[in-house]
Amino acid sequence: MDAGYSERLIMHAHYPKKPVYFNTTALKYVHFYACLFDLAEKGILKAEGRTVWCRETETGDTVLDSVIEMMVPLSGKKLSKLQFLVPRKAAPVYKQQLERMIEKNLLLKEEIFFISWEVGSSYRVIKYDLLKPDITRLERSLVYGRKPERETWLMAVLTGEAGLFNNIFRIKEFRAKAKVRYKELLKSDMLVNDETIFLLRKTLKRSLNAQKAARSYSAG
């Protein structure tokens, strides 16, 4: 599949046509980290100890290049600074990604009207076939317990943190098994031994917890 982790994450969120509810803000946060996963896999970004490093370069992908511009000033600094960057930059990067995917004919934007007023918009996945191999691999590893390949494992981390298992697995039993299996994978050597992914996921979790706490405070 030509689509990267960042694009596939969004496609999973909007597939099928009537997706299950998900936390939009959380999805934007996870999407930003999906871009970091893409950069890490390209050897452009890495995390060591408490430090993040990002090489200044161009990928040919306008979204990833935008993220590189944001990350280069943080290169050599504490990874915790990501927690301050993400709340400010996740939304515009997410919007940029949607626009790029519309241009690539991966998503269709549909305006939502109430009477004659435009009240918002929704997105629909156009090329469903692009997701079928992904869904099959996730099902094999998260439902049937097969050892996942690296690509499937990283996709599981992203979709798991974004709360998209209810979207991906339409059968209730499958969803329950996937959530249990995902918790097991988080404790496996596959995550712990990959320092960059381990630290990015840990920082992502902190960002999501902070966002959740802010929502609870606002609701209270």
> Is 12 domain-assigned?
yes
> Is 15 domain-assigned?
yes
pTM of the model: 0.91
Task: Identify the CATH number of the domain in which residue 129 sits.
Answer: 1.10.3630.10
> Is 78 domain-assigned?
yes
Tokens standing for residue 43: 């050897």
Closest CA to 162 of 65, 50, 37, 66: 37
Q: What is the mean pLDDT of the chain?
A: 89
Residues 51-92 have pLDDT tens digits of 999 999 999 999 999 999 999 999 999 999 998 899 999 999
> Is 216 domain-assigned?
no
> Is 217 domain-assigned?
no
Report CA Rg, the chain. 17
> Is 120 domain-assigned?
yes
Domain of 138 in residue numbering reads as 5-211
Q: With beta carbons less than 8 A apart as the criterion, state whether 161 and 200 touch.
A: no
C-alpha 86/C-alpha 26 separation (Å) is 11
C-alpha 163/C-alpha 147 separation (Å) is 21
C-alpha 188/C-alpha 197 separation (Å) is 13
**What are the average pLDDT values for consecutive 10-residue runs of the chain, which has 220 residues?**
86 74 86 97 94 96 97 95 92 96 91 63 84 93 93 94 90 94 88 90 91 70
